Structure 1
């Protein structure tokens, strides 16, 4: 993947440093390892689903960690099981450990995770705190009055 020169955008924008850092870091980390394959779906305006194909993994072999702006999925396979591979004539199902990281937007949290039929689904929801939601402000005789509140303007 080619490098990006985001300098012109950094000079003419304010507050987008985190976004530019994510783009640059993601471009550097592209190593071609696409295991396990995954999908990202938008279910609605504030709901998302990440689906990873993790055939052969049990729930106790997968760790999901959510922290501020990061979802990390780690699958660990026991190396002692590799001695059983001598019985196979062909091994086409990947059975190796992995780590996948997904950068999350602000206020996105993990709602639930399920493992069924070799697919791990992680449902995400964006919940913007009430204090962060935009509010209409009416100008009433020189006083500012918030619209939508049940409080009386004094």
Structure 2
């Protein structure tokens, strides 16, 4: 396995130290193939995860968020097996699954619904005012910082 060092990126970046952990997790090859799902982006801040949940009832599905990780799980529950049914081909798996998605700190889960055999989870990026881009005015000589020493204040 090739290893990738992100240390050159950290020379000029502050606060991205968790990014290395994210890349390490992404490089692992344990990507689930069941059930199939889409991660979709609508516009600037709207996202959606659509999970194929054919054959699962609403009460058999769970959507949870804990520590910025969205987890979608499904179990068979206490289904009654019909002894009269003999499957000639069983292509709808309906097996238990667990999907996990790491969420950015500004992503909020807006809701989840079951629609046409898809579990749809709507997400929204909510950027706080202090993180939005802003123009810094240049005030000439008015915006000077002052340094404070123990005995006196000196203008710089």
Q: Is the 8 A contact 2:32 2:99 kept in 1?
A: no
Q: Give TM-score, length-normalised by structure 1.
A: 0.79
Shift in Å at residue 86 of structure 1? 6.9
User: Max radius of gyration: which structure?
Assistant: 2
Structure 1 residue ranges without an equivalent (≥5): 145-154
Residue 113 (structure 1) aligns with: 112
Q: Give TM-score, length-normalised by structure 2.
A: 0.78
Q: Take 2:90 and 2:40, find their aligned partners in 1: how far apart are those partners?
A: 30
Deviations for 1:9-62, whole angstroms, at most 9, x for unmatched residues? 22442443322212212322x235411100011101111111000001111111
Deviations for 1:54-91, whole angstroms, at most 9, x for unmatched residues? 0011111111112343111011112x537437723221
Residue 94 (structure 1) aligns with: 93
CA RMSD of aligned residues (A): 2.1
Which aligned pairs between 1:57-76 and structure 2 lie closer than 5 A?
Answer: 57-76=56-75
Residue 19 (structure 2) aligns with: 19
Which aligned pairs between 1:37-52 and structure 2 lie closer than 5 A?
Answer: 37-52=36-51
More helix by share: 1
Moved over 4 A (4+): none
